[in-house]
Structure 1
Amino acid sequence: MSGFAKRYSFRSGKVHDESCKTHNSGPLAIAACCVLFCLGIGLIIGFEAGRGGTGGQSRPWQQVRLPETLLPIHYDVELQVDVTAFTVVGQVNVTLRCATPTRHVILHSAELDIIGGDGTPGIQGSGDVIAPRITSWFLYTENQYLVLELDKALTKGAVYTVNLNFRGTLRDGLIGFYRSSYVNKDGQTRYLATTHMQPMGARLAFPCFDEPAFKATFTVTLVHRAGYTALANMPLENNVTRNDGWIADRFQRSVRMPTYLLAFVVSDYTSVGTVSSSGLETRIWARPAYIAAGMGDYGLDVAHKIVAYYEEYFDVPFPLPKIDHISIPDYSIGAMENWGLITYAESLLLYDARRPSASLKRGVAQIVAHELAHMWFGNLVTMEWWDGIWLNEGFASYVQYLGYGYVEPDVNVMEQFAYYRCQAVMEDDSLTSSRPIFQPVNHPDESREIFDSITYSKGASILRMLGNFVGESTFRKGLKSYLERNAYSNAVQDELWEALTLAARADGQTDLDVKTVMDTWTLQMGYPVVNLTRDYGRGTAQATQQHFLLDPTATVTVPSDFGYRWHIPLTYTTRGNSFDLPEQAWMRPDQDTSPVNLQGAGSDDWVLVNIHRVGYYRVNYDLTNWQLLTDYLNSDLYEEIPPDNRGTLIDDAFNLGRAGQLDLSTALDVTRYLVRERHFVPWSMAKAAMNYVETVFGSVNDLNDNWQAYMVQLISPFYNEVGWTLQQSDYNTEVGQVLAISTACTYGQPGCVNNATALFRRWMDTNNNSHIPETFKSTVYCTAIRYGGGPEWDFAWQRYLEGEPSEQSLLLSAMACSRDADILRSYLERSMDAAHVRRQSAPDVISYVGRSGVGKSLAWNFLVDNWDFYVENFDETQFTMASIVSSVTKQFSSQEDLDNLEQFLRDHPNQGTATRAFSQAVDTTGANLRFRRDNESKIRAWLDGLNRGN
């Protein structure tokens, strides 16, 4: 009976229990229970997914999507929150319109106790409309529904209000309405109530129509004790003191929006704010001590400027009178774009100017720019269903670079795009287990799986490519039309393509159909490699395309309507010609080869394709052109090739080598120029690509030692040039210095290791780390712990327990740098104790440990042994489980690793939100295994040749 009770919970009259019990248990009750049990078996057998189906009319609660019979218009929500007792008592009045006559009112509700007695659900008609009577109600927990059954059908077009009373708790999870806490300067634990509703958390806070297409307006009242401040999406309208000292804060009626954008916070926070010339109020909220220390000032400056910039860029005004940004101590993701009340992880919103760091400033500016971009893409115009989430996240991930570039004009932000957005996702997307950007979501639970690199980074990359080939003016014109046409409503990607096509045609691009082009990028997975073959005698070239796969032996089993071919906007230039205005040619899916006009390039001139890596594709050249490019990189003129293209050349070469499409020695030869490179972008891209050698061959001691020595040889000139005296002249200089020091220490350069460990030792001796520049801390901490032992680790652990969020983030990663297996095993155990490591940080610990050679097996075994812990705590949040699996398996490269993965999958047929991550892990491990088998002798021979001076 207990299994059935979890699936189907009947409530009518005074029945409150989810099992077959009533307050007057007797023969009739037992008989009723048997009837319900049989009914439940029938329901389970007859369960149908999706909208419609033969069971849809008689039992609409069996559909996994809400029926479209009722459309919410407005919610009046009141929540009485006891922040210290963790209780919530609420009521909601939902005004709705009947679209199709129905005898059922179905809303989402999860983990809420619908209050009986005088609080039994009610329904009233609007005006002269007479509402039917509620005959019974029940919770169908299979689909998280509250179902009200009526004695007759609602009338089409009529408006009704449903009244519900409920109780809940402030959850100890990180979704829905939950509790967080911090310790103040007096050592007191202070609690706060906060929310995270995306994708399906609003139903945990109050009964509602919890799907993105069911937009409505909201009036929220938060009732709390004195000494706390309540915040919601809209400004405060009024507050009233009630009996026993409760304070009721009522907020203004919201604009029309989906439930996942609602937010409430009750805390003892303080704020810093400003008001724009147009009257928009912006505030940063945080712990009082952090606001007093000025840690919200930079975020405020950035947020204030970016909103004004976006209003000008999109030519669509921000519709709300205020926007709050608030930092939350316990938070599962980076931030959430709740309309008017954006929530952030503390370390990502707050910046301490007393401890300057260019990378930390970049992090704050970019995440604020990302979330503010959502105010238009996602909030004003929302995807119709979760399969279109890339319309939200891809846009925000691209537009954040525009906003960041506006507030930090001295930083060439688009130069960083190839590294931060393209490089990693192109590796993910070159596996047969990848997926299209537009991914059908057949069950709501699947929505959590698609918050991944394909949605964010590939989405951003193809939008950047689109903006480049239509032109910025046309792009902005199309976006404005799309936003205005769909404001306060929902849209699908074809509506965006239509708006951009019309804008392009208005600007004279009469032969461009954006949908035709972009469908090849959004409706099939993967991307192409463009093969350019030159005829040096005639000065011409031919380009072909093919689906790029890291494992050349892999078989693609997922069919594509486009045959894994793409419309490719090919940008290129030749030696001596412009990088700012490159040539462009189109490659079409139905063409086997495309001629390329090389603009008179001579036989000694190189050709470079995909300028600034604006296109989402790789490029392979004939060997002569590869040699011409390599020689140029090794000349004093190498900086004439832009930094992002220098990095892309190494990234493409290495991945082509991995895929067997380019001789590995050619790829390795390209890296030799790094001895003269001083820019952080190509070095960062090179490191990311070249780390693959350590991933696969880290356990092959002699080869790994030679590789480490080669990397030290490459980085030492850069490291010796920048030294340890902090350079803050400009962003590129500072970040370049950090990269040089980090790389040198990572590969064991003796001077770097000695200096880092000495700085850490001084901290241990004085218990004061003010002598370590903020920007060097990550390297110093990790290096000292890697080359130290128990005392260094124990000291770091104590500092972690006492540290502020930014310091804790650094130490959390650094403590995983230990090479002592016992220490790492103990660290993993401690990460499961929320009293020591915040629940949100436990996934970070196992991910960090899994990335090291020593920790790989430890982390995997720990994950297997504690799988239920991770699923129970993190499967309902975006990113988390997939990130854990990806990090822990990244270094798998042996047959034993592959066997372990496959055995785990046999033992755990349901991997939840980590399903795709496991598929990718199997693919990656197989590719690594093949690469190791086929290339170990080649890499060893190439390194031996260097040692012999060849």
Structure 2
Amino acid sequence: MPQKSTLSKALAVAFAVLTVSAIGGMISMMIVFEIQTNNLTMTELPTVPSTTLAPPPVMRLPRSLIPERYEIFLHPQFYSRIVEEVNVTTPNQTLFFNGNSTVYFRCHQATKHIFLHSFELSVSPPEVIDRDNNKKLSVLSHQQHDDESDFLEIEMEENLKTDGNYSLFLSFEGEISEYLQALYVSKYTETDLDFVNDTIQESARRLFPCFDEPDMKAVFQLTVIHRRGTEALSNTLKQSILILGSNWKYTQFFPTPKMSSYLLALTISEFKFTTSPENRTYARPEAIDAGHTRYAAEITAEILKFYEEHFDLQYGMEDLAQIALPDLEPLAMENWGLITYQEGALLYEEGVSSWLHKEVITTVIAHELWFGNQVTMKWWNEIWLNEGFATYMSYLAVDHAEPKFQIKMIMDDLHAAFEEDALLTSHPLSAPPNDVQTTGEILGMFDAISYSKGAMVLRMLAEYVKDKAFDDGIRVRHPCQTHENDAAILTNARNKESKPTVQEFMENWTTQIGYPVVTINTISGSINQKHFLYNSSAGSKFGFVLSFKMCSPNIFLGTDGMDELISKKGEWILVNINTTGYYRVNYNAENWDRLLWQLETNPSRIPLMNRAQLVDDAFNLARAKQVDVTLALKSTRFLRSETAYLPWESAIRNLEYFILMFDRSEVYGPMQLYLRHQVEELYNFFKNQTDDSTVPDDHSLQKKISRGPVDELLESKQSESTVLHKQCIFNQLIKAFFCLLFSIHTNLRSVIYCQAVAAGDREEWEFAWEKFLSSTDTSEKDQLRKALSCTKKTWLLNRYLSYTLDPDKIRLMDVTSTVNHIAQNAAGQALAWNFIRAHWDYLPHFCVFNHVNLCLQLIRFRDHTEMNGAYRATLQAIEQTQVNIQWVQENHDAVLEWFERETANLE
């Protein structure tokens, strides 16, 4: 292979946006880079002010020319397999491609300038043909703009005429990337040096010159020349295949439907596939032979059937293929007709993968498969309408395909959105188009706001207009419509008795940042709302249209009046049943006391989702200084007798904030003792119901075991004997690894591996490392890779960090999560932060975390991100860090006193 080139500007930007910084000291999850777009009609085009266009002052293409069809020829020249044999000359591997493209376009308004996108391509002199009279036109010049626009500008000698039909032919060549962008190469075996290459996401301009904007949809016909013995896949079925000599193969694909340029996909590999009546699922041959794609193929058929019946619409492609790739930067990408996945998001390994892994696979498939490619947004500022819809609809699809997963009303997205949207540096769902122009600004829109808040607002809207009206509104959408039609459709389909209108209801939720906290006084019946912010001193005039669903101890009811808000003596009131509304709720002290009493005496009288949300609201209201911090801590008392997953998950996530804030102070000791006491009954509950080889069938219990409330509260929940027991298990593992694998249930392996490495030394760590390197099971590798970050030995963590610089040790797509795992280890926080700063220029895609003592360093770190998509994330980290510093100073004494009082008689 050629020597690795330096990181390009596009790669630096793409990776930098993935640094969406953690809030309150937690590491943020990677943003899935997925893109969909809308159809364009001539009547939607804006007026161009002049007949001869100068370079536009903004980053958008002028609308003087509209593409209709592309013919693309590509020739990747790399060897997909290099077998070193005696007395055989090994060919030099080449990572270059060449090709040509013809784009047929219509002139909407006369111009001498053709603007399109091209990035890091060597382009030949263009040939422009007047298709109306088959005349070749004179070209004065062509130049690549040396700025962030990526414009290729072609100047003509004469004007292209209004309503004229033209074609542009360009030859080009480029380099196949080793950094997971555009056309890239991925090594997937160690013995024969097998490779796969793939093109995805916002990279069409790196593959061929094109009008690479969302509304510039066109038909694409792709022809690729590739090595014999490999198979090429794209969005559509193969139209023809020819053998060219002894080395090459020619594959032409059928034309695509009208679609956006960066939905174009191509893979070339020696993969095999599993077939079902509805789809083909590709993966490495050994994964296919082992049956690891069987579950994905089966569940895809169920999900596809659900969507077709739900939308009363057939999938937009004649063929559906899915492929599990060894290297992929996003978790998955919904390229129309050829959906690409990281292996861990598609391969299910019976006896190795946990039940939660199966849930992840189902959810990701449902997200990528939904019909968003058929009705899409107009510009990136409205990306939430695609990704928010995909997230929301995936709940329904998974609930249909796997009812036992019980995730229709999932809390993870609600809390992810709440966390990010409580900052002044958040952004509205529908940002002004002029605020989303550069590549960095576009990438910055792919975050928890667009995905998670988008889903929650849609969920709230479905509750407001009622599910049937919501579904009817979606069903009547035609594939040629854009999301601009959604509000009118839903308004027409809404419940006729609903007031205000859908447009009135939704406007503030989509055009301004944040969400409200609703404060209810159950003595007077008064209610008010204000913008919820962690920075309680910040002012805001924002308001939201709200709809309430409440319950009292005896009845469930829906009301818009305030009379029901006055509780009778001794009764409590609970608002926002099942958290269908996107807002937090605060109460007067008397009602809080009654709710907490109910949780401790008979929690089943409060709906499960609300038990979790009461904990989350209490902790976050305390972080925002709207309630006393002791109220939040009191909300955890009932957990000692709680066995349901959601309340524990909510408590763990919020207590992790306390652990991070106080893990270096005298608060940590009594806090650890209290948490150990609280989790004791739950630990015994699990112990009595299951051992390492037997796990109950109930999936909700599986979630608890897999997520591990017993094993997520740091060491506080583990007795010394338990840790030693797990170390003993791991030492047996060293002696008889393959035998013992079958005695450790798949749902418990991640926990056991982590605890064993944490309790072990160099021998245990290096054994786990060797097993990580040698394992071919994706799920097993992920569990071992995470476990390696659990060691308490700083020198081993430093070694592990250094391994992330070597893609032969840690795959590039796994670098971010590996550093995040290390940063979540108290012993690795400072190491990871220093490592990120030291290697920022080489690896700008690392996530950062903000402990209370890192504020000044974060402000300096901001200077590295001002020109890319991580800038807002860095500002959010700075804002939250400043809030954290003040919060710790104000609450340290009260928190210490509470934990000392609660644990005074425990030891």
Distance 1:54 1:114 in 2: 30
Of 413, 416, 422, the residue aligned with 1:424 is 416
Checking the alignment, whether the CA contact within 8 Å between 1:533 and 1:622 is kept in structure 2 is yes
1:935 corresponds to: 891
Of 619, 638, 658, the residue aligned with 1:654 is 619
| TM-score where L is the length of structure 2 | 0.89
Offset of 1:356 from its aligned partner?
A: 4.8
Distance 2:861 2:712 in 1: 35
- Secondary structure of the residue aligned to 2:250 is strand
Give the alignment of 1:27-38 within 5 angstroms.
none
Offset of 1:145 from its aligned partner?
A: 2.1
1:899 corresponds to: 856
- Secondary structure of the residue aligned to 1:870 is coil
Of 764, 770, 789, the residue aligned with 2:734 is 764
1:747 aligns with 2:744: no
1:451 corresponds to: 446
Distance 1:264 1:720 in 2: 52
Checking the alignment, whether the CA contact within 8 Å between 1:741 and 1:752 is kept in structure 2 is no
Of 234, 237, 241, the residue aligned with 2:236 is 234
Checking the alignment, whether the CA contact within 8 Å between 2:353 and 2:779 is kept in structure 1 is no
After superposition, the Cα gap between the structure-2 partners of 1:497 and 1:430, relative to the gap in structure 1 and judged at 3 Å, is same
2:587 corresponds to: 621
Residue 679 of structure 1 aligns with an amino acid whose one-letter code is: A
Distance 1:744 1:338 in 2: 39
Checking the alignment, whether the CA contact within 8 Å between 2:652 and 2:713 is kept in structure 1 is no
Residue 592 of structure 2 aligns with an amino acid whose one-letter code is: W
Of 97, 106, 109, the residue aligned with 2:115 is 106
Give the alignment of 1:802-813 within 5 angstroms.
802-804=774-776, 805-813=778-786
Distance 1:216 1:421 in 2: 34
Checking the alignment, whether the CA contact within 8 Å between 2:349 and 2:779 is kept in structure 1 is no
- Secondary structure of the residue aligned to 1:653 is helix
1:321 aligns with 2:294: no
Q: CA RMSD in A?
A: 2.2
**Range that drifts further, 644-653 or 317-326:** 317-326
Of 193, 200, 210, the residue aligned with 1:196 is 200
- Secondary structure of the residue aligned to 2:522 is strand
Offset of 1:755 from its aligned partner?
A: 3.0
- Secondary structure of the residue aligned to 2:697 is coil
1:722 aligns with 2:686: yes
Give the alignment of 1:507-906 within 5 angstroms.
507-509=495-497, 511-535=499-523, 541-554=525-538, 563-578=541-556, 582-585=557-560, 596-598=562-564, 601-635=567-601, 637-700=602-665, 702-723=666-687, 724-725=691-692, 726-738=694-706, 739-743=708-712, 746-750=715-719, 751-768=721-738, 769-804=741-776, 805-871=778-844, 874=845, 884-885=847-848, 888-889=849-850, 892-894=851-853, 897-905=854-862
Give the alignment of 1:166-315 within 5 angstroms.
166-183=172-189, 187-198=191-202, 201-275=203-277, 281-315=278-312
Distance 2:466 2:575 in 1: 19
Checking the alignment, whether the CA contact within 8 Å between 1:64 and 1:443 is kept in structure 2 is yes
Structure 1 runs not aligned, ≥5 long? 1-5, 8-50, 276-280, 557-562, 586-594, 875-880
Of 448, 459, 462, the residue aligned with 1:464 is 459
2:146 corresponds to: 141
- Secondary structure of the residue aligned to 2:159 is coil
1:395 aligns with 2:389: yes
Residue 878 of structure 2 aligns with an amino acid whose one-letter code is: V
1:338 aligns with 2:346: no
Checking the alignment, whether the CA contact within 8 Å between 2:143 and 2:152 is kept in structure 1 is yes
- Secondary structure of the residue aligned to 1:869 is coil
After superposition, the Cα gap between the structure-2 partners of 1:745 and 1:784, relative to the gap in structure 1 and judged at 3 Å, is farther
Offset of 1:172 from its aligned partner?
A: 1.0
- Secondary structure of the residue aligned to 1:912 is coil
Residue 290 of structure 1 aligns with an amino acid whose one-letter code is: A
> Percent of pairs identical after alignment?
30
Distance 2:337 2:102 in 1: 22
Distance 2:890 2:49 in 1: 55
After superposition, the Cα gap between the structure-2 partners of 1:713 and 1:112, relative to the gap in structure 1 and judged at 3 Å, is same
Offset of 1:908 from its aligned partner?
A: 3.5
**Range that drifts further, 56-65 or 799-808:** 56-65
Checking the alignment, whether the CA contact within 8 Å between 2:142 and 2:154 is kept in structure 1 is yes
Distance 1:134 1:367 in 2: 48
Offset of 1:459 from its aligned partner?
A: 0.8
Checking the alignment, whether the CA contact within 8 Å between 1:393 and 1:455 is kept in structure 2 is yes
After superposition, the Cα gap between the structure-2 partners of 1:746 and 1:404, relative to the gap in structure 1 and judged at 3 Å, is farther
Offset of 1:146 from its aligned partner?
A: 2.0
- Secondary structure of the residue aligned to 1:271 is strand
1:74 aligns with 2:69: yes
Of 410, 413, 428, the residue aligned with 2:407 is 413
Checking the alignment, whether the CA contact within 8 Å between 1:719 and 1:744 is kept in structure 2 is no
Distance 2:652 2:625 in 1: 20
After superposition, the Cα gap between the structure-2 partners of 1:169 and 1:105, relative to the gap in structure 1 and judged at 3 Å, is same
Offset of 1:900 from its aligned partner?
A: 2.0
Residue 442 of structure 1 aligns with an amino acid whose one-letter code is: Q
| TM-score where L is the length of structure 1 | 0.85
Of 157, 161, 166, the residue aligned with 2:167 is 161
Offset of 1:489 from its aligned partner?
A: 5.2
Checking the alignment, whether the CA contact within 8 Å between 2:60 and 2:437 is kept in structure 1 is no
1:95 corresponds to: 104
- Secondary structure of the residue aligned to 2:547 is strand
Structure 2 runs not aligned, ≥5 long? 1-7, 10-45, 80-93
Distance 2:789 2:241 in 1: 49
Checking the alignment, whether the CA contact within 8 Å between 2:387 and 2:454 is kept in structure 1 is yes
Of 854, 857, 868, the residue aligned with 1:912 is 868
Whose relative contact order is higher, 1 or 2, with alpha carbons under 8 Å and at least 6 apart? 2
- Secondary structure of the residue aligned to 1:413 is coil
Offset of 1:765 from its aligned partner?
A: 1.9
Residue 183 of structure 1 aligns with an amino acid whose one-letter code is: T
Residue 433 of structure 1 aligns with an amino acid whose one-letter code is: T
Of 124, 128, 132, the residue aligned with 2:129 is 124
Distance 2:512 2:59 in 1: 26
Once the two structures are superposed, residues 116-171 of structure 1 have per-residue CA deviations (whole angstroms, 9 ceiling, x without a partner) of xxxx4212222436453223222223221222221111111121111111112211
Distance 1:852 1:744 in 2: 12
Once the two structures are superposed, residues 468-492 of structure 1 have per-residue CA deviations (whole angstroms, 9 ceiling, x without a partner) of 11101110111123x31xx245443
Distance 1:289 1:672 in 2: 50
Offset of 1:522 from its aligned partner?
A: 1.2
Once the two structures are superposed, residues 25-81 of structure 1 have per-residue CA deviations (whole angstroms, 9 ceiling, x without a partner) of xxxxxxxxxxxxxxxxxxxxxxxxxx9999994532664211111100011111112
- Secondary structure of the residue aligned to 1:316 is coil
Offset of 1:512 from its aligned partner?
A: 3.5
Give the alignment of 1:33-44 within 5 angstroms.
none
Distance 1:796 1:596 in 2: 60
Offset of 1:758 from its aligned partner?
A: 2.2
Distance 2:873 2:654 in 1: 20
Offset of 1:412 from its aligned partner?
A: 1.9
Offset of 1:381 from its aligned partner?
A: 1.4
Distance 1:432 1:923 in 2: 8
